[in-house]
Structure 1
Amino acid sequence: MEPRYNSFENMDRFFDQMRQSMFGGDRGVGRGFDDSVRVERTDEAIVVVADMPGFEPDEIGVRLHDDRLHITADHDAGDEGSVRRRSLRETIALGEAVDPETVTAGYRNGVLEVRLPLEPDSHEGIDIEIGE
């Protein structure tokens, strides 16, 4: 018998599509449209906190690529002939240069926290001389 998927997967897909159409896909620093993922900026870092109850740490992926933080998670639970699947996909446009060597992530009690330290002096910019 082929496993059946319940409506949670369809609801997740629906909300992802709605989020894409309403907000252009990427969540930016300081922007938020639900309480499950919060993005905060301090003087030293960007901190992303995601409420993700029910996931195990090995079911969660965190990737930094092209000034965006990508969070993915997949959880399958089932019994005889029935499978329930939960998925999460978030892309957060950082908008600032972070130091990829010092990024840290932790997951405890259903909450993922990713700390992305800013590149030193990246928010101050640089002066560029104009040649003749």
Structure 2
Amino acid sequence: MACQSTNEEMTLLDNIEHVTISKSIGYREFNEDYLDSINGATAINGFEDVLKSAKGVKQEIDVTKEKPDYDIMIYYENGDTHLLHLALGSKDQESQFMYMGHEKNVFIVSSEYTNKLRNILDVR
């Protein structure tokens, strides 16, 4: 798997109002059967911190053989939305976010932020 740094950061369109999470059914698809929702200010602020920490890389992902763990819909206060895929790393490992439809642009989250993300998502 080739990686190449792009030094890009994830773009937040406004303040996050809430976030919905579902088990992913695959890249380029979005599962609307939500498992959970992030609504509280503390959890939303933590989630924003995780996204802001993500660093972009160009990376080839075999979207026919691999599958992200979660689909995430971000709802912003201004009415905009973002659809993301999340490949959640195990404890003390990196995670990867991708904007749906742009799977070659991966945003890497450090192991420290993966642990924070696992707490927010209540994944053990």
| TM-score, normalised by the number of residues in structure 2 | 0.28
In terms of fraction of residues, the more strand-rich structure is 1
Name which one, 1 or 2, has greater alpha-carbon Rg. 1
